[in-house]
Amino acid sequence: MRLSGPNNTLMDISAELVSLFKQELEFCKVNRGDAVVLFTEPRFGQPYPSAFMSAATEMGADVLEVMIPAIRAGITKPVTEALKLADIVIDMTQIPGGHSPWLYTESHNEVLASGSKTLMVFQPQESLRRLLPDQASTKRARAGAEFFNDVKTIRVKSDAGTDLTCSKEGRMGGFQQGFSDEPGRWDHWPSAQVACAPLETSANGRVVLNTGDFVINFNRMITQPVALTVSNGKITKVDGGPDAVEIEEYFRSHDSDSRGLAHIGWGCEHRAIWGASTMDVESYFANCLIAFGSNFFKGPAKGCGLGGKNHSNGHLDIGMRGTEFYADDVQITKNGKIVYDKVK
């Protein structure tokens, strides 16, 4: 029987998600007796915590919810110590359109270093269902990161005017696959992408955001072209119309290091729909995802995190289509396709 009423509607939605969330926890290799910590905050607005609790309980795991206040100065030591006890932390502290309060923190690095797995989940239900981890996209992401490890120089170009070069010599190739399946690994469901943190002062050139490109933090597409001038690793000038003004205001509201190139890479998810959700954009097949700001988080698992040195309090993600991505002398993307056989 399907009950009516606002409270029961929430219960129904949660029940419908339990099967889906059990599949995700199986990808994450959650076993009977594992400690699953649901890390939440009160403004989340989705029935995900209760659905994860039901799914994990049905699998025989021990489940605990840790809720932090909506207004906070940071992640406290007692919270960090509690999260270290988990086999896996399901991070639901980020509200849509907001900046993750935990991802780029020393607390998160400590939890990963302790061997706990972490998984960020806050995307819309439709995207979670459609982009449940997939063998083909996972294989692309892992292969791309493996290839990326030994790359020294990156260049991104576009007909819109982007021409940016940077060095990643000595930096790891990272990947996201949509599930966290080994100790010390972070991931984000849904996701399939390759990324790295370039050397902090190495980036020079221009990034031109074309109409239809997507600013993740604003959760919307660019309406008029924006040109970002990058010198010695940082944005020194933002030109354009209203979108440029908003981007510049973002940087002014954060510290000066928020203008530094944080990470760059390409999307591996053939099922992603441009604009359907922020992670659809980040993972969109053969896109270029570029970000500015914090990039210091890293876990001990292979290909986990970025390993940069920027501790900014800002992090701005931007998705661009129509780019050509080069790793050393190898072209990775062209005309919306991944063209290098080893990472297809």
Looking at residue 97, its pLDDT comes to: 62
Cα separation of 289 and 323, whole Å?
10
CB–CB of 223/209 below 8 Å?
Answer: no
Cα separation of 152 and 128, whole Å?
34
User: Is 108 strand, coil or helix?
Assistant: helix
Looking at residue 70, its pLDDT comes to: 84
Looking at residue 76, its pLDDT comes to: 93
What is the distance between the terminal CA atoms of the chain, rounded to a whole angstrom?
Answer: 47
Residue 167, H or E segment: strand 163-167
pTM metric for this prediction: 0.94
Q: In what order do the strands lie in the sheet with 62-67?
A: 62-67, 35-40, 88-92, 117-121, 186-189
Looking at residue 100, its pLDDT comes to: 80
Cα separation of 207 and 271, whole Å?
26
Q: The tokens of 8 are what?
A: 């029961």
- The domain limits of the chain are 6-122, 131-343
CATH number of 6-122: 3.40.50.2300
Answer yes or no: is pLDDT of 322 > 60. Answer: yes
Cα separation of 219 and 163, whole Å?
25
Cα separation of 61 and 65, whole Å?
13
pLDDT digits (tens, 9 = 90+) for 274-307: 999 999 999 999 999 999 999 999 999 999 999 9
pLDDT digits (tens, 9 = 90+) for 63-99: 999 999 987 778 999 999 999 999 999 999 987 666 7
AA letter at 164: L
CB–CB of 22/58 below 8 Å?
Answer: yes
CA 41 to the chain's CA centroid: 19
Per-residue HEC secondary structure of 45-93 comes to: CCCHHHHHHHHHHHCCCEEEEEECCCCCCCCCHHHHHHHHCCCEEEEEC
Q: What is the mean pLDDT of the chain?
A: 94
CA 133 to the chain's CA centroid: 15
Percent of residues, the chain, with pLDDT higher than 90? 90
Which residue's entry shows tokens 């995207």?
A: 127
